[in-house]
Amino acid sequence: MGPEQILLLLLDLLGTFAFALNGALTAVRHVRIDIIGVLTLGMITALGGGILRDIMLNDLPPATFQDWRYLAVAAFGAFIVFIFAKHLGRITVPIEVLDAVGLSVFAVTGASKAMEYGLGPVQSIILGTLTGVGGGTIRDALIGRIPSVMSEGLYAVPAIVGAGLTVAAMMADLYGVAAAVIAASACWLIRIIGIRYKLDAPTPRGTHSLED
């Protein structure tokens, strides 16, 4: 296992963990709080993006079903939320920050895995973006909420930036730990700034955003 594979695995597990926390917290707040509900939504959110990516790349069964660490990390993240659910009202765990971490990390791993599997640069950026937004989109569809990627101005843009930086680094033969961390951080930062200042992507001239 080369250093790039190890990096990909570590980032993948970080994203899995962040989305597991996020999905489990979403279950606690919006749906139901028995242990199965929390584990189910946590694991689906954590594993959905990677499974979509692996289906598209024909790397089946998906990594989730071949490597026990994905399942363990996802279940562990969701279980932590279940255990501490009664304290969550006080702690105000930053649910959107965790979503941003999963989004960033999966955008990078999705794009780099796509490049490794021989997809073109534009295709790899799109597949990276799909990997990043996939888990949260399935989560939202399951709880009957319009997915963030449809309802929020700046949800896909940071993923596109993160995946784009990853692809650029790989094409310039500069990809490694530093490049992956920079790409994921750029994505995360743009997403957090977007949330903080409620930024929107450009709208056509002569019209107004629906939120106006």
Chain residues that interact with a copy of itself, rule: CB under 8 A: 27, 31-37, 40-41, 51, 55-58, 60-62, 64-66, 68, 71, 82-83, 85-86, 114, 117, 119-120, 122-123, 126-127, 137, 141-147, 149-151, 153-157, 200-207, 209-211
User: Minimum distance from CB of 163 to a copy of itself (Å)?
Assistant: 13
Residue entry with tokens 């790989």: 170
Compute CA distances 148 → 62, 98, 106, 162, 209, whole Å. Answer: 25, 14, 16, 18, 16
Shorter beta-carbon distance to a copy of itself: residue 174 or 203: 203
**Omega of the bond prior to 61 within 30 degrees of 0, cis?**
yes
Shorter beta-carbon distance to a copy of itself: residue 94 or 147: 147
The phi, psi pair for 28, rounded to 5°, reads -60, -40
User: Minimum distance from CB of 101 to a copy of itself (Å)?
Assistant: 21
Shorter beta-carbon distance to a copy of itself: residue 37 or 94: 37
136 vs 200: CA distance, rounded Å = 19
User: Minimum distance from CB of 178 to a copy of itself (Å)?
Assistant: 28
Query: 129 CB contacts (<8 Å, ≥6 apart)?
Result: 107, 110, 156, 159, 160, 163
Shorter beta-carbon distance to a copy of itself: residue 3 or 207: 207
Shorter beta-carbon distance to a copy of itself: residue 181 or 189: 189
User: Minimum distance from CB of 185 to a copy of itself (Å)?
Assistant: 21
Give the residue from 127, 121, 123 showing the smallest Cα distance to 107. 127
